[in-house]
Amino acid sequence: MSVADIHIGEEVHHDEHHEQSFIQKYIFSTDHKMIAKQYLISGIFWALIGGGLSIIFRLQLGFPDMSLEWLRPILGKWITSAGKLDSEFYLALVTMHGTIMVFFVLTAGLSGTFSNFLIPLQIGARDMASGFMNMLSYWLFFISSTIMFVSLFLETGPAGGGWTVYPPLSALPQAISGSGLGMTLWLVAMVFFIASTLLGGINYITTVINLRTEGMSFSRLPLTVWAFFITAVIGLLSFPVLVAAALLLVFDRSFGTSFYLSEIYIGGEALPNMGGSPILYQHLFWFLGHPEVYIVLLPALGITSEIIATNSRKPIFGYTAMIMSMLAIAFLSFIVWAHHMFVTGMNPFLGSIFMFLTLIIAVPSAVKAFNYITTLWKGNIHFTPAMLFSIGLVSFFISGGLTGIFLGNSALDINLHDTYFVVAHFHLVMGSASFFGMLAGVYHWFPKMFGRMMDEKLGYIHFWFSFVGIYLVFFPLHYVGIAGFPRRYYSWTNFDAFNSFTDLNAFVSIAAILTFSAQFVFLFNFFYSIFKGRKAPQNPWGSTTLEWTTPRIPGHGNWEGDIPKVYRWAYDYSKPGAKDDFIPQTVPYSHTPESNLPFENELAKTEDVSPVAQDAK
């Protein structure tokens, strides 16, 4: 089929000699590597804001008597005349912390960075299927970020109804100040965000399916690419549902419809809305919301698979099982959403069905955890910072996943729902695990992104403070939660039952501040190494995958000559008989008779080792 004449920019050349202006190169770039860096920097920016917000509310929780007068220069009137944090602003802080972390850092920052960076490099493509769409995706994210950021400075404060923005609270501007303009901007920002995510996702899927180089069959794809691919598919199916949920919410807020509202009295006065149902919103939201937690986690798991295999110098244990469990998780993630709604008055029979489905997810999750451990087992482990963060991820994934099994029981959940137990659960399994995945990815692929190495010692310091710190923060929260302390409460000092937790809460806050501070070690390391780091060798970790066959700093188009051809899977580490402890994917079987298995020797006979044909001009 000849399609060449359909608006292809006749930009036949992608070479380095082609001069690009500053704007083309760094701002409106269509190069996937630059876009990935843009996402990374934006994600780091948001992580700092999101983390900073959490420190502010941890101060309130840990030291309720402390005077926060010194925050007035930043927070202005949100510090009351008594020197305390405004209680409605507290809600806004929690809301924005959740929104920023889940969507802006761990969805856009994580998928945006690593899907963009790694998909073309690891499948042997010169760029994404559509560089323009990719650029558009970033800039929509940028607009969304700007709107969300502006909402932080509103007179009435940013959105305050929790990151899940449940109606009726979020639907009635008169309910709290955080349901006013801040909520409107939240919704607008999310619309741009979803558009950006969908554009990005469509691009990732198209690229993986259509642009793999010769020989790169699905069964030879690195697990990173598998993970990004499945993540994008989940996003494609679930984010539109959030569009629907948000659309109806907008109509309820701004046009007076009653999708989610019914028989509400505010200030003693009845509202006209009749016939709606707030539970409807929860169904729609969690149909996205639960898949979303896996959108956040799967890329981190993919990154971990890659790093653990490379640094254990062993093939990943159970390659197919890893893919199967990701597919199973993806499928199951769409049919468990109601475990977030056990206490909404749901029919108990329906509750047990969702309980059953929820507990099944533990199976593929456990398969993945076991496979990581068995890959590490008896490996020749290289403890690079990236490796430490990956092992940390596995630890968080297990300890956080275990509490999921408690929460998944519809009976136990009556006690645990909306307590700090849930907060502890998802911060370990989702928040910290994905965050570690992202950091591991940065440490591991930094040499490819910037051509330089990050400092290892600083990396170790960063790791140990973060790893220990996170457990110190979230482990105690389980106890607070089991004791029944509800999440999103401004203050607990009025409840006798919780007074015994005063010290524990202070301890958690101190640990949180320490953990947050440790991130500045990373920041310094990151920015310092971009300019002053040791120059990276071409393949610093001895990896098999294609990105390490590019020049030290790949130009637009990634490979200078032909694109590489792939002859084997991505995990030929420490293959018996081989000269080195890794064989890159570009090495044909016919060149490695000493290490081939019998069936590989058969393959070697029919192998076509001519290069991928020249780019035709």
Partner 1 sequence: MTRSSADIHLGKVRVKSMHPKKFAMWLFIISVTMIFASLTSAYIVKKSEGNWALIDFPSLFNVTSVMIVLSSISIHFAYLAAKRNNLFNIRLGLTLTAVLAVAFSVGQFFSWGQLVEQEVFFVGNPAGSFIYVFTGLHVVHLVGGLIFLLVVLVNSFRYKVHSKSLAQIEMCVTYWHFLGGLWLYLYLFLILNN
From the list 240, 237, 232, the residue with the least C-alpha distance to 203 is 232
Closer residue to Cu ion (CB): 36 or 423: 423
Q: How far is the CB of 280 from Cu ion (least distance, A)?
A: 18
Judge contact between 351 and 552, C-beta under 8 A: no
Cα angle: 404, vertex 405, 406; to 5 degrees: 90
C-alpha gyration radius of the chain:
25
Q: Which helix (H) or strand (E) holds 269?
A: strand 269-270
According to the binding rule CB under 6 A, does residue 422 interact with ligand HEM?
Answer: yes
**CA 260 to CA 253: how far, in whole Å?**
10
Q: Where are the alpha helices (DSSP H) in 333-384?
A: 348-376
- In Å, how far are 78, 88, 302, 388, 513 from 57, measured between CA atoms? 12, 12, 33, 30, 11
Q: How far is the CB of 14 from partner 1 (least distance, A)?
A: 5
Judge contact between 192 and 143, C-beta under 8 A: yes
- Nearest residue (beta carbon) to Cu ion: 290
Cα angle: 162, vertex 164, 170; to 5 degrees: 65
Q: Which of residues 275-314 bind Cu ion (CB under 5 A)?
A: 290
Residue type, 15: D
Closer residue to ligand HEM (CB): 254 or 344: 344
Tell me which DSSP letter residue 485 carries.
Answer: P
Per CB under 6 A, which region of 150-158, 291-299, 307-315, 606-614 contacts ligand HEM?
291-299
Candidates 285, 396, 426, 516: give the one binding ligand HEM (CB under 6 A). Answer: 426
Q: Which helix (H) or strand (E) holds 266?
A: strand 265-266
Q: How far is the CB of 426 from Cu ion (least distance, A)?
A: 8
**CA 281 to CA 265: how far, in whole Å?**
19
Partner touching 450 among partner 1, ligand HEM, Cu ion, none, CB below 5 to 8 Å by kind? none
Count how many residues are written for the chain: 617
Q: Which residues pair with 79 in a beta bridge?
A: 85
Closer residue to ligand HEM (CB): 252 or 413: 413
Q: How far is the CB of 402 from ligand HEM (least distance, A)?
A: 8
Closer residue to ligand HEM (CB): 294 or 443: 294
Closer residue to ligand HEM (CB): 225 or 430: 430
Q: Where are the alpha helices (DSSP H) in 257-345?
A: 278-312, 319-332
Query: What is the sign, positive or negative, of the torsion defined by CA atoms of 519, 520, 526, 527?
Result: positive
Closer residue to ligand HEM (CB): 58 or 425: 425
Helix axes 385-407, 433-450, angle to 10 degrees: 160
Judge contact between 88 and 489, C-beta under 8 A: no
**CA 145 to CA 550: how far, in whole Å?**
33
Closer residue to partner 1 (CB): 243 or 327: 243
Residue holding tokens 């050349």?
A: 13
Q: Which of residues 379-418 bind ligand HEM (CB under 6 A)?
A: 401, 404-405, 407-408, 413, 416-417
Per CB under 6 A, which region of 243-251, 254-262, 293-301, 602-610 contacts ligand HEM?
293-301
Closer residue to ligand HEM (CB): 434 or 545: 434
Partner touching 427 among Cu ion, ligand HEM, partner 1, none, CB below 5 to 8 Å by kind? none
Partner touching 23 among ligand HEM, Cu ion, partner 1, none, CB below 5 to 8 Å by kind? none
Q: How far is the CB of 429 from Cu ion (least distance, A)?
A: 10
Closer residue to ligand HEM (CB): 362 or 513: 362
Closer residue to partner 1 (CB): 71 or 236: 236
Q: How far is the CB of 12 from ligand HEM (least distance, A)?
A: 43
Q: Which of residues 126-165 bind ligand HEM (CB under 6 A)?
A: 164
Partner touching 611 among ligand HEM, Cu ion, partner 1, none, CB below 5 to 8 Å by kind? none
Q: Which of residues 154-213 bind Cu ion (CB under 5 A)?
A: none
The helix/strand/coil state of 419 is: strand
Tokens of 497: 């039952």
Closer residue to ligand HEM (CB): 171 or 424: 424
Q: How many CB atoms lie within 10 A of CB 245?
A: 25
- 557 Cβ neighbours under 8 A, 6+ residues apart: 14, 15, 126, 127
Closer residue to Cu ion (CB): 33 or 290: 290
Candidates 135, 246, 297, 394: give the one binding ligand HEM (CB under 6 A). Answer: 297
Q: How far is the CB of 300 from ligand HEM (least distance, A)?
A: 8
Partner touching 167 among Cu ion, ligand HEM, partner 1, none, CB below 5 to 8 Å by kind? none
**CA 376 to CA 372: how far, in whole Å?**
6
From the list 466, 443, 467, the residue with the least C-alpha distance to 113 is 443
**Count of residues that bind ligand HEM according to CB under 6 A:** 24
Q: Where are the alpha helices (DSSP H) in 417-497?
A: 420-426, 433-450, 456-482
Q: How far is the CB of 137 from partner 1 (least distance, A)?
A: 12
Closer residue to Cu ion (CB): 290 or 368: 290
Q: How far is the CB of 435 from Cu ion (least distance, A)?
A: 18
Closer residue to ligand HEM (CB): 344 or 538: 344
Q: How far is the CB of 359 from ligand HEM (least distance, A)?
A: 6
Partner touching 245 among ligand HEM, partner 1, Cu ion, none, CB below 5 to 8 Å by kind? partner 1
Residue type, 75: L
Alpha-carbon dihedral of residues 39, 534, 123, 36, nearest 10 degrees?
A: 10
Q: Which of residues 161-200 bind ligand HEM (CB under 6 A)?
A: 164
Judge contact between 151 and 78, C-beta under 8 A: no
Q: How far is the CB of 277 from partner 1 (least distance, A)?
A: 5
Q: Which of residues 441-480 bind ligand HEM (CB under 6 A)?
A: none
Partner touching 537 among ligand HEM, Cu ion, partner 1, none, CB below 5 to 8 Å by kind? none
Residues contributing to the site for ligand HEM (CB under 6 A): 164, 293-294, 296-297, 339-340, 358, 361-362, 365, 401, 404-405, 407-408, 413, 416-417, 422, 425-426, 429-430
Residues contributing to the site for Cu ion (CB under 5 A): 290
